[in-house]
Amino acid sequence: MDKTQVMVYFSLYGDEFPIDDVTEKLEVIPSETYKKGDLIPKRLTACYRKETSWDIGTGYQFSLDVNNQLQQIINKLQNKSSIINEIKEAYSLECKFFIVIKIEGGNTPALYLGKNIIKFAARIEAEFDVDLYANPYDDFDE
C-alpha cells in the first residue's frame, strides 16, 4: 500500500546571483541549485529556467505531520536569519518555503505552522507555497 509523503524545501531565488557565495555564507550544502536560462529537465518541449535558485529540502518522506519536515529545514537555518537577510539584500532575492504533499488512500497529514516556524519565516520575510496531490482511493461505500 502506498503511504502519504511530504516534501519541504526552502528556496532563495532571484534573477542572477553567485550560488557558491550563498552556500559559503550559509555554510549549508544545497539540495538543488539552478541558474536562469538552464534547461528544465524531463519536459516534452524545451523550457528554460526564468530565475536562479538555491534550495535546501527534505526530499519526499513518509509522514502524517508536515511540521516534522518543516522543522528539519528550520533546524538547518534557524540561527542564520541575519545572514539570509544580508544575502537577500545583496542580490535582491526572495525566499519561500514549499510544502508538497502526496496524499495516498485518503490519509491526510496534519498541516499547521508552529510558532517557531512562523517567527522564523517572519524574520526573513518568507512566503509559503503548498501543493497537494490527492491520489485516488477506494470508496468504502461501494
What gap in Å lies between CA 136 and CA 133, rounded to an integer? 10
pLDDT bracket for residue 105 (50, 70, 90): confident
129-140 mean pLDDT: 78
Torsion-angle region of residue 59: left (phi > 0), alpha (psi -120 to 50) or beta? left
Q: What is the pLDDT of residues 3-56, one digit of tens each?
A: 999 999 999 999 999 999 999 999 999 999 999 999 999 888 999 999 999 999
In the chain, where are the structural domains located? 5-134
CA distance 90 to 104: 42
Q: How far apart are CA 71 and CA 108, in angstroms?
A: 19
**Is residue 77 a contact partner of residue 88, using CB atoms and an 8 Å limit?**
no
Whole-prediction pTM = 0.90
